[in-house]
A and B are shown apart, each in its own frame.
Chain A
């Protein structure tokens, strides 16, 4: 699950249930706010946190994401109306990613749906969509409950995530499938999640128990906290676009940049042959070849920054939407919003200093773009046959 863009202006961000623990652990003391909640950007150092998540385990406060518990006879139908995730086809314990689309097929947000029991689902989205959920529930037998204020959520990422949970006594069947259980007196739900390509487990529990669980994971599990800046590198490396940064929600006031799933590089999350979802019929009217596409690039220069112009064949074709230095590939990895022709593999990026000219950039295949590519190939093959 991906965090949305940081808030532009927030007078007094609210404290997540884990704020006290995070504040205590934060040596750098660099903070930001997301959806009006305070979150640490850096705890110790970005590089240290990044390597810990890649090679060991890291824990993150996921309390800024929007969470809804959805119950009822038609909960699955309701969720498949709201999101493109195939909720009716999920077995108990299964999760699926999807998108939230408007009626014309424009992307509003990312979404993740988990089925905890027959009639109980968990919906997680980067930004809140309370009004939309209210409207979507009209005429459908489903009850949605906003649980953001009532629960805390910790993500445990990295190859040692399982060991951390075991050592902390939080080992649950939720490592492979979503499940809920009472662990050491605390009612906890666990489900497998991915932060981009980084697999992990998300623990959700009552807000009152937040500090106890965090302490247990840190002291017993020996897991270090990871801040937003390190997570941003992991996100771009994995090819997961960030709402509000790499694309603007179709219902954002004043936006003229409505993006379809194909245009943000996630066509595989909204296939037209999936069961009905909001916006599917609108997508059928959208041109099959997107006008623009969000691509991931590797750039041979560390001065590139968001907003820099992207050139193909000597002509400007787009701009960088987000970028970060990747310790893994020793280059800058970036998302760029480029116009057609999207077949180009070689790009140039304008560097910010005057007279500095342009630097070379190449398409960079991420786990997400590989999924999109495989999806498009399957679609083409099906169309031909």
Chain B
């Protein structure tokens, strides 16, 4: 008797399904909800036991949880919120428009309001004020213009959009897309803390250092985002980023999507160049004419479909070496409440430590060479201070993201210690003596998040420049031209953070094709 016959589901073929979504992270949930709302009989398959992908709640110490994966929302697709009615399904913001406090090496601080246009208008500096206003106006206009180009999909084409832009805007877009962030900022702003702060924003969570070409687009991508109608804003959802995933799950369930956890997909069935269903790891098949895959491209195409029937150019694009850089997440449970005035004053803001320009350059070089940099960009929030619902009286939680760090497939204890030490040293720069108050800590590196989701560690490395991401997303979202197969995995996403745009675009493309060709189910 063969192995397949031993499997419990072997020989079982499930039909009558319109669409299968593989992977229940935010993008997969989004795609499933869209398909379900369109009246398609949809199954969402997740290999793990948790729904939500990397965004999930974990225990830091007894009585204190933290949200893994993301801590803020900045590029969440407004169309997804509206189409799936996520507010009705529980999304609300504990802090809708977070102000940011920037800290610098020399002890200086700079505060910027969450509404950047207003912050620029009110910027109290004779020289930098008007320059900042001009900068924000120009970049916001470019970011809004590029927004459709940041949606993954075969139609996404920033170059084409640029050609259609008015002449002055096209010239500016050209400058923004090619130039290093450092060069763009030098062209607009005088030297000072504001420039240092924005330089840090441009390099944050990207593999492209601010002094390298194409790096300014990281900031343009961030500022193309919109939270509650406010462009370029950051928000903290009530309950943390997991609240968005929970709302997406509710939206999918309301759309009658059949969510099946612990149901891994072994292979995608291709018949006559068209997706025909999936074969499950536990045995058996589910047949459906539409498959939306939200997993890693390598896993979906190389393992579930197989190299022998994938176009060489496509294989080359999805298996190309990724940057050897990553971000690290650090969650700290702090005893008692903050004692120093400096920290307490800023606890309901987004806190950013911005190293000087030269230190930033060194940090990227060190991280690429596999060394842990001494200077790191840090973005931190105190979730308890932002979200009264989760706030504790005896403990405080600090969630921080540090960048850039070297990418390690499997870091050993010594490397983890080194990274932890570097992150804490940089947090100390804006929260002095914090180490004395730490009750529990959790360091989450790319490899940790990958292990918890079952994905390769490389999937959680820092994304390359936005231009490279757009190019890769265009290729990846074509799903190798396999009819009926749509891809919204990591390679189809543009920008770091929770977006859901790729899931929406994949589902919309599936619905469009199904309507055009007649629903095959």
Partners in one complex: yes
Say yes or no: A281-B311 contact (C-beta < 8 A), given A139-B302, A139-B306: yes
Asked whether A282 lies within 8 Å of B481 as measured between CB atoms, the reply is yes
State the Cβ distance, A96 to closest chain B Cβ, in Å: 18
**Count of B residues near A, CB < 8 Å?**
17
Answer whether residue A242 sits at the interface, using C-beta atoms and an 8 A cutoff: no
Asked whether B308 lies within 8 Å of A140 as measured between CB atoms, the reply is yes
Of B128-136, B214-222, B312-320, the segment with at least 4 beta carbons within 8 Å of chain A is B312-320
Answer whether residue B38 sits at the interface, using C-beta atoms and an 8 A cutoff: no
Closest A residue, CB atoms, query B314: A103
Q: Mark A327-354, 1 if CB is under 8 A from B, else 0.
A: 0000000000000000000000000000
Q: Mark A111-149, 1 if CB is under 8 A from B, else 0.
A: 000000000000000000000100110111000000000
Say yes or no: A281-B312 contact (C-beta < 8 A), given A139-B306, A139-B307, A140-B307: no
State the Cβ distance, A136 to closest chain B Cβ, in Å: 5
Answer whether residue A278 sits at the interface, using C-beta atoms and an 8 A cutoff: yes
State the Cβ distance, A224 to closest chain B Cβ, in Å: 42
Closest A residue, CB atoms, query B479: A281
Asked whether A282 lies within 8 Å of B312 as measured between CB atoms, the reply is no
Answer whether residue B369 sits at the interface, using C-beta atoms and an 8 A cutoff: no
Answer whether residue B309 sits at the interface, using C-beta atoms and an 8 A cutoff: yes
Asked whether B315 lies within 8 Å of A135 as measured between CB atoms, the reply is yes
Closest A residue, CB atoms, query B480: A281
Inside 8 A of A276's CB, which chain B residues have their CB?
Answer: 273, 308-309
Inside 8 A of A103's CB, which chain B residues have their CB?
Answer: 311-314, 480-481
Asked whether B302 lies within 8 Å of A281 as measured between CB atoms, the reply is no
Asked whether A281 lies within 8 Å of B481 as measured between CB atoms, the reply is yes
Asked whether A282 lies within 8 Å of B311 as measured between CB atoms, the reply is yes
Q: Mark A264-281, 1 if CB is under 8 A from B, else 0.
A: 000000000000101111
Q: Mark B477-497, 1 if CB is under 8 A from A, else 0.
A: 000111100000000000000
Partner among A138, A280, A281 whose Cβ is within 8 Å of the Cβ of B315: A138
Asked whether A74 lies within 8 Å of B481 as measured between CB atoms, the reply is no
Inside 8 A of B316's CB, which chain A residues have their CB?
Answer: 135
Contact residues, B175-224 vs A (CB, 8 A): none
Answer whether residue A77 sits at the interface, using C-beta atoms and an 8 A cutoff: yes
Inside 8 A of A97's CB, which chain B residues have their CB?
Answer: none
Contact residues, B249-293 vs A (CB, 8 A): 273
Say yes or no: A132-B312 contact (C-beta < 8 A), given A139-B302, A139-B307: yes
Partner among B302, B306, B309, B481 whose Cβ is within 8 Å of the Cβ of A284: B481
A311 to B424, CA, bound (A): 75
State the Cβ distance, B307 to closest chain A Cβ, in Å: 3
Say yes or no: A279-B311 contact (C-beta < 8 A), given A103-B481, A284-B273: yes
State the Cβ distance, B258 to closest chain A Cβ, in Å: 29
Inside 8 A of A284's CB, which chain B residues have their CB?
Answer: 273, 481, 483
Asked whether B312 lies within 8 Å of A135 as measured between CB atoms, the reply is yes
Inside 8 A of A278's CB, which chain B residues have their CB?
Answer: 311-313
Asked whether A136 lies within 8 Å of B312 as measured between CB atoms, the reply is yes
**Count of A residues near B, CB < 8 Å?**
22
Asked whether B311 lies within 8 Å of A77 as measured between CB atoms, the reply is no
State the Cβ distance, B465 to closest chain A Cβ, in Å: 22
Inside 8 A of B315's CB, which chain A residues have their CB?
Answer: 135, 138-139
State the Cβ distance, B514 to closest chain A Cβ, in Å: 17
Asked whether B308 lies within 8 Å of A74 as measured between CB atoms, the reply is yes
A104 to B311, CA, bound (A): 9
A81 to B309, CA, bound (A): 7
Contact residues, B298-331 vs A (CB, 8 A): 302, 306-309, 311-316, 319
State the Cβ distance, A22 to closest chain B Cβ, in Å: 36
Closest B residue, CB atoms, query A102: B313
Asked whether A281 lies within 8 Å of B308 as measured between CB atoms, the reply is no
Closest B residue, CB atoms, query A80: B308
Closest A residue, CB atoms, query B311: A103
Asked whether A281 lies within 8 Å of B306 as measured between CB atoms, the reply is no
Inside 8 A of A140's CB, which chain B residues have their CB?
Answer: 307-308
A77 to B309, CA, bound (A): 9
A77 to B482, CA, bound (A): 19
Closest B residue, CB atoms, query A279: B311
Asked whether A138 lies within 8 Å of B311 as measured between CB atoms, the reply is no
Say yes or no: A280-B312 contact (C-beta < 8 A), given A138-B319, A139-B307: no
Asked whether A139 lies within 8 Å of B311 as measured between CB atoms, the reply is no
Partner among A77, A138, A281 whose Cβ is within 8 Å of the Cβ of B273: A281
Inside 8 A of A285's CB, which chain B residues have their CB?
Answer: 481
Closest A residue, CB atoms, query B306: A139
A278 to B312, CA, bound (A): 7
A140 to B307, CA, bound (A): 7
Asked whether B312 lies within 8 Å of A77 as measured between CB atoms, the reply is no
A140 to B309, CA, bound (A): 10
A102 to B314, CA, bound (A): 10
Closest B residue, CB atoms, query A282: B481
Q: Mark B160-172, 1 if CB is under 8 A from A, else 0.
A: 0000000000000
Asked whether B308 lies within 8 Å of A81 as measured between CB atoms, the reply is yes
Closest B residue, CB atoms, query A283: B481
A74 to B313, CA, bound (A): 20
Inside 8 A of A78's CB, which chain B residues have their CB?
Answer: 308
Inside 8 A of B481's CB, which chain A residues have their CB?
Answer: 103, 281-282, 284-285
Closest B residue, CB atoms, query A142: B308
Inside 8 A of A74's CB, which chain B residues have their CB?
Answer: 308
State the Cβ distance, A135 to closest chain B Cβ, in Å: 5
Inside 8 A of B313's CB, which chain A residues have their CB?
Answer: 102-104, 278
Q: Mark A137-163, 1 if CB is under 8 A from B, else 0.
A: 011100000000000000000000000
Which of A78, A135, A276, A281 is the most central at the interface, judged by chain B CB atoms within 10 Å of its CB?
A281
Closest A residue, CB atoms, query B307: A139
Which of B273, B480, B483 is the most central at the interface, judged by chain A CB atoms within 10 Å of its CB?
B273
Asked whether A280 lies within 8 Å of B273 as measured between CB atoms, the reply is yes
Q: Mark A301-319, 1 if CB is under 8 A from B, else 0.
A: 0000000000000000000
Q: Mark B425-453, 1 if CB is under 8 A from A, else 0.
A: 00000000000000000000000000000
Asked whether A81 lies within 8 Å of B482 as measured between CB atoms, the reply is no
State the Cβ distance, A229 to closest chain B Cβ, in Å: 35
Closest B residue, CB atoms, query A138: B307
State the Cβ distance, B473 to closest chain A Cβ, in Å: 16
10 contacts between A and B (CB under 8 A): A77-B308, A81-B309, A103-B481, A135-B316, A140-B307, A278-B312, A281-B311, A284-B273, A284-B483, A285-B481
Chain B positions near chain A (C-beta within 8 angstroms): 273, 302, 306-309, 311-316, 319, 480-483
Per CB-CB distance, the 5 closest pairs between chain A and chain B, nearest first, are A139-B307, A281-B481, A103-B311, A103-B313, A77-B308
Chain A positions near chain B (C-beta within 8 angstroms): 74, 77-78, 81-82, 102-104, 132, 135-136, 138-140, 276, 278-282, 284-285
Q: A139-B307, A284-B481 are in contact. List 8 more A-B contacts (CB 8 A).
A: A81-B309, A81-B312, A102-B311, A138-B315, A139-B302, A139-B308, A278-B313, A281-B273
